[in-house]
Every structure is written in C-alpha cells, then in structure tokens.
Amino acid sequence: MRRAMLPLFLLMTGIPATVPAQSTAAPPIAVIPRPAKVTPHAGRFTLTARTVISTDTRSAGLGRQLARYLEPATGYTLPVRRGAVSGNRIVLRHDASLKRLGDEGYALEVRPGVVTVRAPAAAGLFYGIQTIRQLLPPEILREAPMRGVAWTMPAVAIEDRPRFKWRGAHLDVVRHFMPKEFVKKYIDLLALQKMNSFHWHLTDDQGWRLEIRKYPRLTSVGGWRKETLVGAYTSDTAKQVFDHEAHGGFYTQQDVREIVAYARARFVNVVPEIEMPGHAQAAIAAYPWLGNAGDSVAVWTIWGVSQNILNPSDSTVHFMQDVLTDVMELFPGPYIHVGGDEAPKTQWKSTPRVQERMRALGLTNEDALQSWFIRQMDDFLTARGRRMIGWDEILEGGLAPHAAVMSWRGTSGGIEAARAGHDVVMAPGSHTYFDQYQSLDHTHEPLAIGGFLPLDTVYSYDPLPTELEPRFAKHVLGAQGQVWTEYIRGPKNVEYMAYPRMAALAEVLWTPLGRKDYADFRSRLVAHLARLDALDVNYRRPAPLPGQPQAGGR
Ligand code: ACM
C-alpha cells in the first residue's frame, strides 16, 4: 500500500466483536493457531537432561532441530538417536497411515514419560515440534539457561492439519530497509505460528534491494535514496519536509541464499517480488533507458504512486527477464511475484514511441499493453517451470494464462480470478493490511498510513468469500498479512504493527472454521504474548477484554 490517497475500504472501521467475559487464567493448552482436535489427558510430561529424542532415518535432521530449539533455555544437550529407545523420550516418526492429515498435518501424543509426533510428511513433524515449543513454558524460547523453570507439558492428544495451504506474511524492505538478521527473526516467528510463506517485497520506487549480477547499478544507484519525506504524506510540495539523510541498503546474492535456506529449514517458502511495470522508479534511476521520459530520475524520496513506469520495449522486457533469471536461480520456490499494481498509464499515453508500440502489437488500450507486458513474464516463467503471481491489477486488460492473483483491492479480483480457474491468494486491505492503525486514538500510536484494523477484525476474516461458489473454493490457496513500511522505520516498529495481528491471521489460516473463537483466542493469547516477550518482540498490547487482565509482560 503506497498510495497518497486512502481508498475507501481503509476508512471502514472494524467489526466490533461481541465477547463474553473470560476467566483470567490462560488455558493449559494455549497453542496458537488452535489445533484442529485437542483431547486433554491426565498428568504431565517432564523434559529432563536425560530425555532422548528418537527419530527414524528421514526425521533425524528434524530431531536435531528439536534438540537445538530446546538447548539454549534448558541447558540440556539432548541426544538424538535413530530407532527405538526406552526411558523418557520424544519420538518423531513418519507414518504413512496418517495420509488423511495431508502434507502438513501431524498427530501429537503427550503422556507422562513419552511424547510422540507422527506425520505423513516432514512438514507435519516440523509443525508437531512447533506445538511442543508452545506446550512447554514460554521461557523455552529464551536463549540462555533459565533457572527454576519446570520443563513440563500437559498430557494431551492433538490431531492437527491446516485449513489453507498459503499462510503468508509480506514484508516491504524497500520503503525502509530491514537488516538480514531481522528478516530471519520475522521468518522464525512465522514458523512458530505454522505460517509457511514469506512474501519479500524487494523493489519499488524508493529502492532496489536485490543484487543482480548483470546490472550492478540496480543496487549501487537504485539501492539508495538521497533523503526521505518526514511525517505523513502531503502532495503539497511546499509543505514537504525531508530528513536530509541517505537511506538504503540491499541484500547480496549470498545474503539471499542464506535467508532462503533459513526459511526452507523452517518450512517457509520465500516469494520474491520484483515490481513491474509500475513501482519501478529505482530501476529507472539506475538505467534511465527503462523509462519513458528520456530524462533521468532520482530514486524516489516521497510516498504514493510514481508516474515513472517502465517502457514496454523489447529491451526492457529482456532486461526484466534477465532479472528474473537471477531471481529464479536464487529463489527455488514455485512462485515469483511480478507486482503489476498501481501502474499509472499517463506516460504511456503521452509517449509517441509507446503508442506506436501499442498499435504495432495490435492492442487497443494501455491496460491491454500492461497485460501484454505481464504476459511476457508469465510465458518466460512458465517455460522455466515457475508460477507467476501478481496483484489484482493484472486482471485488467486480460489475465495471463498461468497467472495466480493476489487480491488486495478487496476480494472481487480474487473471486473473478478463482471463477476463471486461476489460483488466488487473498490479501484484502480491509483485513490484512497491517500498516493500518490498531486504535482510533492515534495520539498513542506510531504514525501509520491510516485506516483502522484492530485485532478482532483480523480474527474475523474468512479468506473464503461467501459469494464464491464452492466448486471454485479450491482456487483460494489462502491469505497473507501485508506490512508496507512507508511509516514503519525499522524492526521494532514492524513488530509493533505485525503483532499480535499476525498471530490472529495465523489462526484464520490454520484452524478449522468451526474451531475459531475470538474469546478463546484471546485467552490463549496471554501465553502467546509471554512467548513474544521471551523472543523480544515489540508487539502492541491488545486492549483487555471484559474480565481479562492486561495481557503480556510489558
Ligand atoms: C498494493 O498495496 N499496492 C498492492
């Protein structure tokens, strides 16, 4: 979200929740997202220095990962053994008989003396491990030995699997650059909440953040802007105040490989976004021939939607395809995001060369020309075994044949695409734009882009629109939360805007609809906020519900 004007839907207020009074204690099974099926048993399991992690051959790596998760806070270096062991143990097993739980489901049994995670595939075992991390006391997430904590878990049987397969979070690292270590922390938090897609917004008008070997100026020039607008956006240039500080940074290809591997080890797929033909002023600043105007522009220093967009010449198409070649080498996941949103056609209309091009291609208007441009990317990516995804503007002028659509201007674009047989990720501003205010009282909030998106509104979201015919529901892969960073200047501010709303979205995406319950979520959130405290996450403390104490330790 980067527009100067606030779309109408952002001005909608949240849907007030009707919430019954709550008991004050966090429930013993305070897992977020809420598992599909939970059967409590009597007794507890106690983790000790003598606990052994038992794996099969394929789950040995996950066993070591579990041992690494548990070591810092307990101080125990738990042995990981293949095959059966006796005594106090945590057992990880692939189990083909659980196929009904799908690729990401798992069954977890906690009994005094024995914990067993069984799953048909590795992702399920990983999610069983995340549940174990949440059944233990929140201190388990700390990075130094915690004295005086009893490392116990309530006995329970859990059967669990996600409702949606795309459980995503987006992060804009252009408007404000985010250091590599923070990107890893962001991914770690997603994994803890069983989210599996990280949408990395890497290029825009205000910066280009990805090293491309063939075009070094993209980062040496496009990676930096001279200064940044201070405060809320105003179109009145006389009122614009700048900070006179250069801002920038980029990820080297080695950094990217590191982050992708880090995400992969946590079953998170990274979806890179390279914006075109709009939101590309930083690229045009680096290589002016990519633009329409013929004069050079600077990397943008204000917010909104720039008029400077890519020209639709063959050389520009080839340039962007070269960029995508590097992108495909770095990002092994199936989806490559090409943006496609908010590309004003003013320059295309006024540039004779572009008008000639349009006629030569037999196209009748500029929307069709954008559609043609995007189709060149779809063909290119499809021929190389990848899937193109773009914001819902790629529907205008005709959707490319293999494209998936990310629906941000409400859900109608997503519905239209799903009905046409295209896969869809829901990302409507009304429920998933975490750059909006969390309170109506802005005096106690950091400057934000506008709008109002409280926790209960996020929680109330259902990615499956009621008006979508059931036969098309399979095309709705899931949804994701957006963190655009015009007004979010660094990691602590990102955490404040993303949490706990991302935890609510995690539950929207994982938990069966019939098990969703906001009051129950809020009671489990008490323990979850203690986890976020342990992880040094600067979340926004939610307003207390009637009958509940203030949650969290801050
Ligand atoms: C968007 O917020 N322009 C996708």
At what angle are helices 366-383 and 314-330 packed, to 10 degrees?
Answer: 40
DSSP string for residues in 181-235: HHHHHHHHHHHHTT--EEEEE-EETTEE-B--TT-THHHHTTTEES--B-SS--S
Lowest-confidence pick of 114-118, 483-487, 548-552: 548-552
Check whether 7 has a pLDDT greater than 60: no
- Locate the ligand 1 atom nearest the alpha carbon of residue 3 and give its number: 3
Residue 19: CB atoms within 10 A of its CB come to 14
Separation CA 107–CA 386 (nearest Å): 33
Indicate the pLDDT class of residue 80, thresholds 50, 70 and 90: very high
Separation CA 474–CA 422 (nearest Å): 10
Check whether 256 has a pLDDT greater than 60: yes
pLDDT above 70: percentage of residues in the chain: 94
Indicate the pLDDT class of residue 550, thresholds 50, 70 and 90: low
Residue written as tokens 């005709």? 398
Q: Which two tokens stand for residue 264?
A: 């992969």
| pLDDT score for 406 | 98
Ligand 1 centroid to Cα of residue 122, in Å, is 34
| pLDDT score for 225 | 98
Over residues 231-260, the mean pLDDT reads: 97
Over residues 100-123, the mean pLDDT reads: 98
- Locate the ligand 1 atom nearest the alpha carbon of residue 391 and give its number: 4
- Locate the ligand 1 atom nearest the alpha carbon of residue 279 and give its number: 3
Positive/negative CA dihedral, 371, 373, 376, 378: negative
Residue type, 521: F
| pLDDT score for 26 | 67
For residue range 489-529, list pLDDT tens digits in order.
999 999 999 999 999 999 999 999 999 999 999 999 999 99
| pLDDT score for 551 | 52
Check whether 419 has a pLDDT greater than 60: yes
Separation CA 163–CA 331 (nearest Å): 26
Catalytically annotated residues: 204, 279, 342
- Residue in 480, 484, 486 to alter for ligand 1 test, most ligand atoms within 8 A of Cβ: 484
Check whether 285 has a pLDDT greater than 80: yes
Mean pLDDT of the chain: 94
For residue range 363-408, list pLDDT tens digits in order.
999 999 999 999 999 999 999 999 999 999 999 999 999 999 999 9
Ligand 1 centroid to Cα of residue 461, in Å, is 19
Indicate the pLDDT class of residue 299, thresholds 50, 70 and 90: very high
Over residues 203-232, the mean pLDDT reads: 98
- Locate the ligand 1 atom nearest the alpha carbon of residue 429 and give its number: 2
Check whether 37 has a pLDDT greater than 60: yes
Segments making up each domain of the chain, as ranges: 37-160, 167-382+408-416+462-516
Over residues 24-48, the mean pLDDT reads: 91
Q: Could you tell me if 304 and 4 are in contact, meaning their C-beta atoms sit under 8 angstroms apart?
A: yes
Ligand 1 centroid to Cα of residue 280, in Å, is 13
For residue range 221-237, list pLDDT tens digits in order.
999 999 999 999 999 99
Check whether 314 has a pLDDT greater than 70: yes
pLDDT above 90: percentage of residues in the chain: 92
CATH numeric code, 37-160: 3.30.379.10
Separation CA 59–CA 389 (nearest Å): 33
For residue range 325-349, list pLDDT tens digits in order.
999 999 999 999 999 999 999 999 9
Q: Which two tokens stand for residue 165?
A: 């397969």
Ligand 1 centroid to Cα of residue 531, in Å, is 31
Indicate the pLDDT class of residue 293, thresholds 50, 70 and 90: confident
Over residues 106-117, the mean pLDDT reads: 98
Residue type, 210: L
| pLDDT score for 543 | 87
| pLDDT score for 110 | 98
Over residues 189-203, the mean pLDDT reads: 99
CA-proximal residue: ligand 1, atom 2 (nearest):
1
Separation CA 111–CA 220 (nearest Å): 57
Ligand 1 centroid to Cα of residue 539, in Å, is 24
Over residues 170-183, the mean pLDDT reads: 98
Residue 445: CB atoms within 10 A of its CB come to 14
Q: Which CATH class is domain 167-382+408-416+462-516?
A: alpha beta
Q: Is the pTM of this model over 0.75?
A: yes
Give residue 542's Cα distance to chain centre. Answer: 21
Q: What is the total residue count of the chain?
A: 554
Q: Could you tell me if 222 and 275 are in contact, meaning their C-beta atoms sit under 8 angstroms apart?
A: no
Check whether 60 has a pLDDT greater than 70: yes
Separation CA 509–CA 503 (nearest Å): 10
Q: Which residues line ligand 1 (CB under 6 A)?
A: 1-2, 341-342, 391, 408
| pLDDT score for 27 | 78
Separation CA 248–CA 489 (nearest Å): 12
Indicate the pLDDT class of residue 541, thresholds 50, 70 and 90: very high
DSSP string for residues in 267-290: T-EEEEEEEESSS-HHHHHH-GGG
| pLDDT score for 12 | 38
- Residue in 391, 396, 425, 436 to alter for ligand 1 test, most ligand atoms within 8 A of Cβ: 391
Indicate the Cα dihedral angle 214, 219, 221, 223, nearest 10°.
160
Check whether 354 has a pLDDT greater than 60: yes
Over residues 417-443, the mean pLDDT reads: 97
Give the three-class secondary structure for 335: strand
CA-proximal residue: ligand 1, atom 4 (nearest):
1
